[in-house]
Copies of this chain bind each other. A is one copy, B any other.
Amino acid sequence: MTDRIADGLPTVEAVAAAEAIGTEDTVLVSGFGGVGYPKATLPAFAARDEDAALTVVSGGGVGQEVDDVLIEADKLARRYPFQTQAASREAINSREVAFHDRHISRVGDEVRLGEFGDPDVAVIEAVSVGEDWLVPSTSIGHTPSFVAAADRLIVEVNEAQPEELERVHDVFQRDLPPNRDPIPVTGATERVADARVPFDPEKLVAVVETEQADDPYEFRDPTDADLAIADNLGDFLEAEIERNPVLAESVYLQFGVGSLGNALMGELSGIDFGDREVVYFGEVFQDGLLDALDEDLLAGASATSLALSEAGQERLFDGIDRYADDVVLRSADVSNNPALIERFGVVGVNSAVDVDLYGNANATHIGGTDVVSGIGGGGDFNRNCRLGVIALPSTAAGGDVSRIVPQVPHVDHTEHDHSVIVTEHGVADLRGLSPDERMTALIEVADPSFRDELRAYHDRATAAPGHVPFDPETAFDWRD
């Protein structure tokens, strides 16, 4: 037996562990950014020859060994708060699986308070486990809250994940309100706890050995639009840091998950930050940040997930001695904590499906109906950043569809929340602008081929009275 599992623990095969899951249980799984999720227990549960209707809650995105296997076996009834697999997307959009996307920073509390059902079982991937503690693997997510909330605990110890991951973890667990103190973190890479998630030994019903790598993230290469967005963002930030006293000495950055976010991270070297200390305070650590750390552009990084490609994971694990001091993984209610984001004055860059002429952003539902992944941490950051930036290509579908639209059919981030919209055509700095002025500024960052039509909407809207120029008859005409 591996020395990663303390003596005397109930080590069993996955099939036996899955017996601890009831057919209508609420199951809390580790995992965030597509990594650190359990690989063996839920496939074993899915293979059982009986009807089941589970509720599954994850911290963030997890692999197909959770969503796909349960959906294929018709055993998933409800899912919260974020998912990234084609199978779950399809099941949710056909309303076979009930879903609601939630602000990531709040999900730990929501689970502890039973807002997604009575928490029955937590299934957690770890790199090691003791009598009353475990060390999470490549993500922390909401593992501490899930372990605290669940009646029963199944731990999968994955030999394919390096044990040295414990050197990056900082697991701080908050008390419930109203006896909740401020999180004592005063800087991006400050450690305030240790790597272990404590648990009540009576909860531990099974330990399963696995040896399976995360389903690796695959980032597409940056497109021309990505690179033009990075250029525009860089020019804007260089001007902003000269005038904004919050950014006079240091810059806290966050980039959203995904290929655009990864491309923007990778282009950091193109931005002249002068002699300011630049740190990352976000939810996912992606490949683009490795270069920035290696080149000393970045002094450190805080996140809840190592959402790296296979090559990126190898690079991090091989260089763990170098990276461990500068990279901190935290639980998602710390990495995404509104109070910390606000106190650090984070510059956050997140993407959207589309943005409307009022400045509202739809980050989740194509056409207002079909969910992509969920709101994730976008609302945690957009709402609380000192400078909230939404970056998106101005078109989709090879240029046939404008992503700057009269009115988004679904609002995730309101006009009150963020400050700036960036496309490959420029920067709309919305600070201080009235609704009418916002419309003019946003039309200027739309693709040129759509600007006349957007201006025609603006004209129709301003022909009617009211603070917000609005033409309800045609506001949704652009919907796919």
Contact = CB atoms under 8 A, between A and B. Distances in A.
A115, A432, A437 — which one has the most chain B CB atoms within 10 A of its CB?
A: A432
A423 B472 CA distance: 27
Interface in A51-103: 78, 80, 92-95, 98-103
Interface in A409-445: 409-414, 416-417, 419, 431-437
Interface in A352-385: 360, 365, 367-371, 375, 379, 383-384
B416 A414 contact: no
A220 interface: no
A457 interface: no
Contact of A115 (B371, B412, B432, B472): B432
A470 B466 CA distance: 26
A177 interface: yes
Nearest to A371: B467
A431 B113 CA distance: 11
Contacts of A369: 464-470
Interface stretch (A164-172, A211-219, A335-343): A335-343
A475 interface: yes
A177 B343 CA distance: 5
Nearest to A102: B416
Contacts of A343: 177-178, 180-182, 339
- Copies of this chain, count: 2
B416 A370 contact: no
A256 to B, nearest CB: 16
Contact of A182 (B178, B339, B431, B432): B339
B252 A178 contact: yes
Interface in A226-264: 243-246, 249-250, 252
A432 B181 CA distance: 27
Interface in A102-116: 102-103, 109-110, 113-116
B360 A411 contact: yes
Nearest to A250: B178
A245 B432 contact: no
Contact of A339 (B109, B114, B339): B339
Nearest to A174: B343
A178 B345 contact: yes
SS class, residues of chain A in contact with chain B? loop
B95 A384 contact: no
Interface residues of A, number: 79
A243 B369 CA distance: 34
B434 A368 contact: no
Contacts of A339: 182, 338-339, 342-343
A416 B101 contact: yes
Contacts of A464: 369
A344 interface: yes
A386 interface: yes
A365 B464 CA distance: 14
A95 B468 CA distance: 9
B344 A178 contact: yes
A177, A186, A344, A414 — which one has the most chain B CB atoms within 10 A of its CB?
A: A177
Contacts of A470: 367-369, 409-410
Given A93-B466, A467-B365, A338 B98 contact: no
A345 B98 CA distance: 27
A133 B255 CA distance: 42
Contacts of A203: none
A78 B114 CA distance: 46
B465 A416 contact: no
B370 A94 contact: no
Interface in A170-211: 176-178, 180-182, 186
A92 B78 CA distance: 45
Nearest to A385: B177
A466 B90 CA distance: 9
Contact of A246 (B100, B101, B178): B178
A429 B180 CA distance: 25
A298 to B, nearest CB: 15
Contacts of A465: 93-95, 369-370
Contact of A176 (B181, B246, B416, B432): B246
8 contacts: A93-B465, A102-B416, A113-B386, A177-B343, A182-B343, A339-B343, A383-B383, A472-B479
